[in-house]
Amino acid sequence: MVSKYGKDFQVPQDFPSVLKAFTREVLRCQPEDIYEFGANYFTDLYDTVAAEAGGARRWTAAELEAFLKRLFDEADADGSGELSRREFKQLMREADLGLSAHDIGVIMAQADVNNDGKISYAEFVPVAVELVQSIEARAALEQRSQEAVDSASEYLRTGMTEEELRAIITDVFQKADTDGSGHLSLEEFGQCLKEADIGLTRTEINSLMMTVDEDKDGTVSYEEFAPLCFELLQKIMEEEMFRKPTSERAAHLADLFAQQVASGAGTLSQQQLRRALVAADLGLTNIQLATILAEVDELPVDQIDKFATVCATLIAEMETPEKVRMRAEALSQIELVHGVPQSEISAILVGEMLAYDPKQAGLIGQSQLREALTKSRLDLSKKEVNALLAAINTDDSGLVAYAPLCEYAGKLLAHMATEKAFY
């Protein structure tokens, strides 16, 4: 006859070493009551392990199911296989699983399938196991995310330091403050933030505008805002970070790319892709946009979904706090770009552009710009050329004012150099 207790159990991998350590302590201490000694020993061991793990017990599904079954059986005095709501609440409190009153309510709502006010073991255990494990996983993820955010606290999501942010904000604020009053209207302030190229979404800009106008007078003072801007932006960006899964973001980008396809066209230009990324409102700086678009100069329409996934993956990598910190630190170490100081890049490129601009009008065509960059003595890679071209905004004339791009090039190329360590 087969016993119902004849079930095979898998011995945990560490059990022999745990048992050996316990045996050694028994021989050393020679306790009068080995059962009491064992209970105290393993309680202390559990408390130590739990403390090292952050104070939280991590259950496997099998362990949790067995634990809940034992608690249920102890509470089920009449052996009916059911508990009243009051008995169930008491059981969940005694279980000490770190569940809030809301969590317990969720379990009750889902486990009372018949809506008869009673909870059966068969209904309760699967729901409880799933919820407890999801709470543990969420807590672990939040802890890792917060640790990563803390490690990158010197930087904004875009890798910008407080000093760099203040310099940019000061510049755009002063340009917008035409009367020199030190104040901007909310509308002017919003436009100022959009032009600052610090990687803000519309939601972040709106949140910032509501935060800084505390007295509701419709104006923003630079003296009041400047000391707080980094902390405010960091908090807002952290709240927005990681809100959209990569797969969902990729699908959204694919839709926006598809909207840019002209009737009958077989490819998307880099500028069309740029417009779609800007429309996605992802809070990307101009450098981040250029880095993403460095992957392609034009895109076949049948590759839209694939490229959207590439973009979403790159953006997710850019948002990771630890990598924000690593990029910023790597960028601060770069002194030479293609063998020359970053500060000299602009003069080199301007000199090379003049060969395509004999009248020194400051404008050349896009094809000429590409040719000049490709032939530059800086020996730029195809990705670097693509990135520089992606950093410009073109109008219907097709002409490009190259001086601002040349001035910007050193910073962008230095950033591209750091990306080699990540992609």
Is residue 133 a contact partner of residue 97, using CB atoms and an 8 Å limit?
Answer: no
Residue 57 predicted with pLDDT over 60: no
At 281, list the tokens. 């409102």
Instruction: Say whether pLDDT at 148 is over 50.
Output: no
The tens digit of pLDDT for each residue in 316-336 reads 877 666 677 777 777 778 888
Say whether pLDDT at 135 is over 80: no
- CATH of span 61-151: 1.10.238.10
Q: What is the CATH number of domain 332-419?
A: 1.10.238.10
- Model confidence at 346, pLDDT cuts 50, 70, 90, reads very high
What per-residue confidence (pLDDT) applies to 47? 57
Question: Domain boundaries in the chain?
Answer: 15-52, 61-151, 162-240, 246-319, 332-419
Report, as an integer, the average pLDDT of 153-163: 64
Mean pLDDT of 387-392: 88
Percent of the chain with pLDDT over 70: 71
pLDDT for 239-261, tens place per residue? 555 456 788 889 999 999 999 99
More confident residue, 172 or 235: 172
Kindly state the percentage of the chain with pLDDT values over 90: 16
Tokens of 131: 């919820």
Q: Tell me phi and psi for residue 48, to 5 degrees.
A: -65, -45
Q: Is the pTM of this model over 0.85?
A: no
* 315 φ, ψ (degrees, to nearest 5): -65, -40
- pLDDT band at residue 156 under the 50/70/90 scheme: low
Confidence of residue 82 (pLDDT cuts 50, 70, 90): confident
Same CATH fold, 162-240 and 61-151?
A: yes
Closest CA to 408 of 366, 345, 357, 362: 345
CATH of domain 246-319: 1.10.238
Q: What is the CATH number of domain 162-240?
A: 1.10.238.10
Residue 357 has pLDDT above 80, yes or no: yes
Measured in whole angstroms, the distance separating CA 346 from the mean position of its chain's CA atoms is: 33
What is the per-residue pLDDT across 371-388, written as a single tens digit (0 to 9) for each?
999 999 999 999 999 999
- Residue 164: predicted pLDDT: 78
In this prediction, residue 308 carries a pLDDT of 92
Contacts 24+ apart (CB under 8 A), 244-249: 246/309, 246/312, 246/313, 246/316, 247/312, 249/282, 249/312, 249/315, 249/316
